[in-house]
Chain A
Amino acid sequence: MTLAPNAQLPDRDHSPDPAPGTPPRCARTTPPWWFMAPALLLFAFVVLIPSGRGLYYAFTDWDGLDPDFSFIGLDNFAEMTRDTDAVQAIWHTLLIAVSITVVQNAVGLLLALGVNSAIKSRNLLRVLLFAPAVVTPIVTAYLWRNLLGPDGAVNSLFGAVGLDGWRQDWLGSPDLALWTIVGVIVWQYAGYSMVIFLAGLQSVPQEVHEAASLDGAGPVRRFWSVTRPLLAPAFTVNLMLSIIGGLKLFDQVYALTGGGPGHATDTISTLIYKDAFTLGEFGYSIALAVVLTIIVAVASTGQYALLARSERAAS
């Protein structure tokens, strides 16, 4: 560790002696509170104050422009229960978040176990499989929109290998579109889950495996009894990331289907955008954002508590 520009530090000999009466080993010195000020001001201006105002607007009929708006109590939320688009969007959001969490982590874990083996291409594979996670989601979504079209590359590929029965209108069919979106997300982020699981796997010492193996444990037993408990922190991080990311999903839906066909793939986030910027219903739109906030808060704190408990149980 370098304390590099030593020249900038005052020389010890020239520093004043501690005042008489203070112990020679100085009491712990603490940095001043005002170091927090710039970050707190930015955080308050961008996140805290607007969120607080948003919470208030959710109970009004504000249209985003008119300074004359009135307090309408819970009307926006009551309206939401009658608005089938909103109810559908909330359901889609939950469905997408849960499916992404399950599938992405299952695939990510399998990839991590594969890459953490004795195979020769493991370093190259790790780099290649993670690559989609750094590419702009809106860009990969437009790419997939073309690939998944009726005459797109995915259907051509199925045709070329004799699976003509598998050709589908992946994004145009109301029954399929939602699952297609989940598939695109998994394609992009399974490598991300893999990298986090891999970091967890590499913290399992090889000797532990060898000991278990000598004791007669097969690969499945070794995974379940040795690896899995030590992967608990990686599970916590991965599950939190995918559930929160899934609940807030916007970019991919916007680019792949725009919420369609009809409203078959609308999520809370795409509905917030449409209601605010095409319909001018800011108050209602922010009420939707409040619902999203509550779902995210409940899901993440609930999941965190659950995982922290199993992490403790595993250790």
Chain B
Amino acid sequence: MSRYRPRTLALELSMIAVALLVGFPVYVLVNLAVRPASDNSSPISPTSSPTLDNFSQAWQQGALGGALANSLLVTASSVVIVLAVSSLAAYPLARITARWSRGTYLLVLLGLVLPFQLASLPLYQTMRDLGLLGTPWALVLFYSGLQVPFTVFLYVGFLRAMPRDFEDAALIDGCTPLQGYRYVVLPMLKPITVTALVLNTVAVWNDFFTPLLYLSGSAQQTMPVAIAGFVGQYVTDWNLIFAALVISILPVLLIYFLLQRSIINGFAGGLRG
């Protein structure tokens, strides 16, 4: 990098100003979440007598513990399933060069363009007939299929750029194809698996439309839907709502700051995939 000049200092200061502007909503969020309802001063002036009461009240009244557990269950199960089936499927899709294999791959890629709004209404009816509506399993099933095209796309791209010698050696050495996949191919897929893990986790955890449809009216909610319900219920009690928002953001940001390097690389990794 070039030397630190006065111009660099000016750039540094303006970048920090931008970061402060981006962070401004977070300041207000925390500032109002710790403010008692009786305090009517301006939202940007620091709260004079902060309290944590809003948090315990929001936690209990919003049933946020249950929502957090549901979100964890849905996200963990869907992501594990989608990574397993997609990496397994990508192996022959990347290696078999027959026309039917290429055709199948193109069919899977079609899923990247189809907006889920098209499938979600007919699928709503199927889920209802199967008795899955209102259960987290409807969501696990949904994400396990919905995320296949994108995840297969990442894996196939990575596999095609990878030499075949190791897997060939394993198969010649008498491994069954499944063993070759499990002990040779899968370990070599680790970098792209991290990318796929990060992108799928964020997509599933943050999704709102699908649980709004498939869990509506049920006591089982994921975090985004529980928050929407909470906002609808406590319309004007913004201090309480902000406490609920903080509770829902906190685990996400905590994990983000702990694993920021892998997460940012995961997002940027889609570029090379």
Binding site for B on A (CB under 8 A): 1-5, 8-10, 12, 14-16, 26, 28-33, 35-40, 42-48, 50-51, 53-55, 57, 64, 111, 114-115, 117-121, 125-140, 142-144, 146-147, 151-153, 156-157, 160, 187, 191-192, 195-196, 198-200, 206, 233-234, 237, 247-248, 250-251, 254-255, 268-269, 272-273, 276-277, 282, 285-286, 289-290, 292-293, 296-297, 300-301
Q: What is the number of residues of chain B that contact chain A, defined by CB distance less than 8 Å?
A: 108
- Contact partner of B242 (CB less than 8 A), chosen from A30, A128, A146, is A146
CA distance A29 to B25 in the complex (A): 56
Q: Which residues of chain B have C-beta atoms less than 8 A from A33's C-beta?
A: 92, 96, 101
Q: In terms of DSSP, what is the predominant structure of the interface of chain A?
A: helix
- Contact partner of A153 (CB less than 8 A), chosen from B8, B28, B142, B267, is B28
B68 at the interface (CB under 8 A from A): no
- Cross-chain contact A55 with B28 (CB below 8 angstroms): no
For this complex, 14 residue pairs linking A to B, each with C-beta atoms less than 8 Å apart, are A9-B170, A35-B89, A38-B85, A48-B111, A55-B118, A64-B125, A127-B260, A134-B202, A138-B227, A138-B228, A139-B249, A144-B25, A153-B24, A196-B270
Beyond A31-B177, A132-B22, A200-B271, list 9 extra A-B contacts (CB 8 Å): A3-B187, A39-B108, A42-B85, A51-B114, A54-B122, A118-B2, A130-B260, A272-B121, A289-B121
**B124-163 interface mask toward A, CB cutoff 8 Å, 1 = contact, 0 = none?**
1110000000000000011011101100100000000000
- Cross-chain contact A128 with B267 (CB below 8 angstroms): no
- Cross-chain contact A135 with B252 (CB below 8 angstroms): yes
- With A131-B253, A138-B228 known as contacts, the answer to whether A121 contacts B12 (CB < 8 A) is yes
What are the 8 tightest A-B residue pairs by CB atom distance, in nearest-first order?
A: A46-B145, A39-B89, A15-B174, A50-B119, A42-B145, A199-B268, A39-B85, A119-B12
Q: Which residues of chain A have C-beta atoms less than 8 A from B238's C-beta?
A: 146
Q: Which residues of chain A have C-beta atoms less than 8 A from B86's C-beta?
A: 39
- Cross-chain contact B144 with A42 (CB below 8 angstroms): yes
Q: Which residues of chain A have C-beta atoms less than 8 A from B108's C-beta?
A: 39-40, 43
CA distance A273 to B117 in the complex (A): 9
- Cross-chain contact A50 with B174 (CB below 8 angstroms): no
B59 at the interface (CB under 8 A from A): no
- With A31-B180, A54-B118, A136-B224 known as contacts, the answer to whether A10 contacts B89 (CB < 8 A) is no
Give the contacts of B215-231 with A (CB-CB under 8 A). Answer: 216, 223-224, 227-228, 231
Q: Which residues of chain B have C-beta atoms less than 8 A from A289's C-beta?
A: 115, 117-118, 121
Q: For B205, give the chain A residue with the smallest CB separation.
A: A136
Q: Which residues of chain A have C-beta atoms less than 8 A from B19's C-beta?
A: 125, 128-129
Within the complex, the shortest CB–CB distance from A254 to chain B, in Å, comes to 8
- With A10-B173, A29-B172 known as contacts, the answer to whether A47 contacts B180 (CB < 8 A) is no
- Cross-chain contact A35 with B183 (CB below 8 angstroms): no
Q: Which residues of chain A have C-beta atoms less than 8 A from B241's C-beta?
A: 142, 146
Q: Which residues of chain B have C-beta atoms less than 8 A from A120's C-beta?
A: 4, 12
Q: Which residues of chain B have C-beta atoms less than 8 A from A144's C-beta?
A: 25
Within the complex, the shortest CB–CB distance from B241 to chain A, in Å, comes to 7
Within the complex, the shortest CB–CB distance from B92 to chain A, in Å, comes to 4
B120 at the interface (CB under 8 A from A): yes
Q: Which residues of chain A have C-beta atoms less than 8 A from B116's C-beta?
A: 47
- Contact partner of B267 (CB less than 8 A), chosen from A117, A192, A293, is A192
- With A38-B89, A156-B44 known as contacts, the answer to whether A50 contacts B15 (CB < 8 A) is no
**B225-254 interface mask toward A, CB cutoff 8 Å, 1 = contact, 0 = none?**
001100100000010011001001100110
B123 at the interface (CB under 8 A from A): yes
- Cross-chain contact A136 with B252 (CB below 8 angstroms): yes
- With A39-B85, A46-B142, A47-B114 known as contacts, the answer to whether A126 contacts B149 (CB < 8 A) is no
Q: Which residues of chain B have C-beta atoms less than 8 A from A200's C-beta?
A: 271
- Contact partner of B121 (CB less than 8 A), chosen from A36, A133, A282, A297, is A282
- Cross-chain contact B118 with A51 (CB below 8 angstroms): yes
Q: For A251, give the chain B residue with the smallest CB separation.
A: B208
Q: For A269, give the chain B residue with the smallest CB separation.
A: B117
**B193-219 interface mask toward A, CB cutoff 8 Å, 1 = contact, 0 = none?**
000000000100110110001001000
Q: Which residues of chain A have C-beta atoms less than 8 A from B256's C-beta?
A: 131, 134
B64 at the interface (CB under 8 A from A): no
Within the complex, the shortest CB–CB distance from A53 to chain B, in Å, comes to 4
